[in-house]
Amino acid sequence: MAKKAFKQTVHQYTAIFEPDEVKGGYTVTIPSLPGCISEGNTFEEALENIQEAAALYLEVMGKREEEIPTEDRGVIVSPVRVHAKV
């Protein structure tokens, strides 16, 4: 049986890095890829790990012949300070 040839493509997604206040490091998720989560002891390690996790996620989707998600517009993530009288 001949193997299906896959082409390599580049995709861009928004990743959310959340610092772990207790253990240190970061937990990372990609909202456009539900369930794609990773972590790392440093920002750089977390970035490398989520890139690898996302590549494997998309590889599995490709093998299943599922449609690869895209982000049509950029997302801006920013901290917001809220002053409230409570």
> What pLDDT, in 10s, does the model give residues 21-48?
999 999 999 999 999 999 999 999 999 9
pLDDT at residue 86 in the model = 87
- Bridge partners, residue 18, by sequence: 27
Q: Which of 59, 14, 10, 11 is nearest to 32 (CA)?
A: 14
Beta-bridge partners for 38: 28
6-10, 15-19, 45-49, range with the lowest pLDDT: 6-10
As a whole number, the mean pLDDT across the chain is: 90
- Work out the average pLDDT over 3-25: 86
Structure token digits, residue 83: 């002053």
Does residue 7 register a pLDDT over 90?
no
Question: Does residue 12 surpass a pLDDT of 80?
Answer: yes
Q: What confidence score (pLDDT) does residue 25 get?
A: 96
